[in-house]
Structure 1
Amino acid sequence: MKLNYQITPFASAGAVPVVLLHGLFGKQDNLGLLKQHLMSRYPVISVDLRNHGSSEWHPDMNYHAMSLDILELLEQLQLPKVHLLGHSMGGKAAMAVALQEPARVASLVVADIAPVNYQENRHSAVFNALQAVAATPHISSRKEADHLMSEYLSEPAVRQFLLKSFSNEKSTHWQFNLHALEQHYADIMGWPYTPDQQYPGPVLFIKGGASDYLQTGHQTAITNHFPQASARVIPDCGHWLHAEKPALFNGIVERFLQQIN
């Protein structure tokens, strides 16, 4: 599976690269501010996960497949060990890599997601909005798509995030594989790994203070998989914490990585 990626120049000899993994409906530049913040100290690899951005489309969409994609990319780039950071779905993909190949992961940062099964109706309105655009072939601009999506999604920030992947080069108007994401939504919201699968290295979970994706009830699931996990909470922000409070988020990540190196 061929993944699209961008890699910054190697900032310093011996620095362990940082791999950034975006969330559902996203693409590699979603974590662009963090990349800019880290690239003076670390090589940074920003990845489009399968069925997103400019990476290949595939009918399968699950965490085992996504983790194998990432491990294949590390082999291609001849990187024996990396730091992994993922947001939301990308956080689950990063956790999957760490559980399957712990020796390849120097550290793990998980942004606002837990290793648990989530309810499958969280994105019903989003899928309705995306399908409405996909079913309207004459739409030719983000402005037209935004107007149509506003009938389903009232939050402008959510629409603007989704519209970053608007494209007239695709028949559906979306850079992501909408059909595969909808068909495998249960896999994306689920979690296939058993509690006995562990990553013993350093892990940081970062929660958006106003988000309900990370809850105190998830602590057992987290510590079962990641016994060295620690957590930070960024107040007054939601699920897109890296975009809402970038300076604070980036600083937390940098300090965590400095402790390891």
Structure 2
Amino acid sequence: MPGLHTEVVGTGRPDFAFLHGLFGRGRNWTGIAQGLAAQGHTSVLFDLPNHGASGWTGEFSYPQMAEAVGDELRLRLGSAARLNVVGHSMGGKVAMLLALSRPELVSGLAVVDIAPAVSEGVDGFGPLIEALRSVDLAGLTSRGQAEATLKPLIPDPGVRQFLLQNLRVRRHPGHPGASQWYWQPNLDLLEASLDRVAGWPDPGTAVYPGPVWWLAGELSDYVAQRYVPAMRALFPELHQVVIPGAGHWVHADNPQAVIDAIADLAASAQLRG
């Protein structure tokens, strides 16, 4: 598993780690991390494998991603590594597995709009990937041109801009002075692995004993009451939080409510030591 790209928001030793969702990147959480920094917290934002500036892998594996995040935390913070881990959607599944497999690294856990179950909404990413493939990268001259291509295929401007953050330009390796556009995520692997992205690996008999804040968007269907027994079996110290007016991208839809909830998690974790 390749090394992971990270960015730090705040000063001093990190006490939060953020894990993004499918086709996201650590910077998606910058606004939340800045809000926490104003309260004295420092956050490390991860680009998960096959996303952002992190390396690509040969397969999609939640356990391997959790292991990679844990190794990076241990490398950064040493034997005393212990943070509040926040994971959204795909990153929420990584965060859950990290807490279950390496609880000594996790002082508190925030699972954001995802459940330990098959996520039916992932099916909708297939057409989005095909839309990204429709952009003629070889003939592309600007980001605006790419957006014009995607607009009829992805009419929602928020989703379109979210995906366009993954479009990058670099010097062309074979043509000095020329530019080359590319998609940062590993589109081939992610498209072939959507069933694994949607899935949830068997965590065995592990139980995480620390505080867990389970955030759900009021308007989202990724979290339902039928998932509560499975969630509570893995995380007995479960606290459910509904984020008003938010869909699946809760941190974009209602950032202040998310900041408040995550700060409450940190306070609870600190009280428990």
Q: State TM-score, norm by structure 2.
A: 0.88
Match of 1:125 among 119, 124, 127: 127
Q: Which moved more, 1:79-88 or 1:153-162?
A: 79-88
**Cα offsets for 1:56-102 (capped at 9, x unmatched):** 11122211110111011012111521110011111111111011111
Mapping of residues 81-92 of structure 1, within 5 Å = 81-92=82-93
Opposite residue 16 of structure 2, the aligned amino acid is V
Deviations 1:185-226 (A, max 9, x none): 211110002463221111001111111111111111211211
Say whether 1:113 aligns with 2:114: yes
Aligned twin of 2:31: 33
Matched, 1:139 2:146: no
- 2:239 aligned residue: 230
- Flag the 1:37–1:46 CA change in 2: closer, same or farther, 3 A: same
Answer with 190-199 or 218-227: which moved more: 190-199
Could you tell me which amino acid in structure 2 is paired with residue 24 of structure 1? L
1:73 aligns with: 72
Which structure would you say has the larger Rg? Answer: 2
Letter in 2 for 1:206: L
Cα distance in 1, alignment partners of residues 123 and 193 from structure 2: 13
Q: Deviations along 1:79-129, whole A, 9 cap, x unmatched?
A: 521110011111111111011111221010011111111235231221121
Gap regions ≥5 residues in structure 2: 173-179
1:49 Cα deviation from its structure 2 partner: 0.5
Give me the whole-angstrom Cα distance separating, in 2, the residues matched to 1:141 and 1:215: 41
CA distance in 2, matches of 1:189, 1:217: 17
Partner of residue 253, structure 1: 262
Residue type at the aligned position of 1:114:
A
Residues 9 and 233 of structure 1: is their aligned pair in 2 closer, same or farther, counting only changes over 3 Å? closer
State how far apart, in whole Å, the 2-side matches of 1:122 and 1:198 are.
31
Q: Letter of the aligned partner of 1:197 in structure 2?
A: A
Cα distance per residue 1:221-255 (max 9 Å; x no partner): 21121111111111222111101111121111112
Q: Which residue of 2 aligns with 1:44?
A: 43
SS at match of 2:124: coil
Alpha-carbon RMSD:
1.8
Distance (Å, rounded) in 1 between the aligned partners of 2:83 and 2:222: 26
Moved over 6 A (4+): none
- How many pairs are equivalent? 257
Residue 172 of structure 1 deviates from its aligned partner by: 6.8
2 CA distance for matches of 1:172 and 1:99?
39
User: What secondary structure is seen at the aligned counterpart in 1 of 2:44?
Assistant: strand
**Residue type of the alignment partner of 1:157:** G
**One-letter amino acid matched to 1:66:** M
1:243 pairs, out of 252, 255, 260, with: 252
Cα distance in 1 for partners of 2:73, 2:167 equals 29
Instruction: Normalising by structure 1, report the TM-score.
Output: 0.92
Matching residue of 1:191: 200
Identical amino acids, percent of aligned pairs: 32
- Unaligned stretches of 5+ in structure 1? none
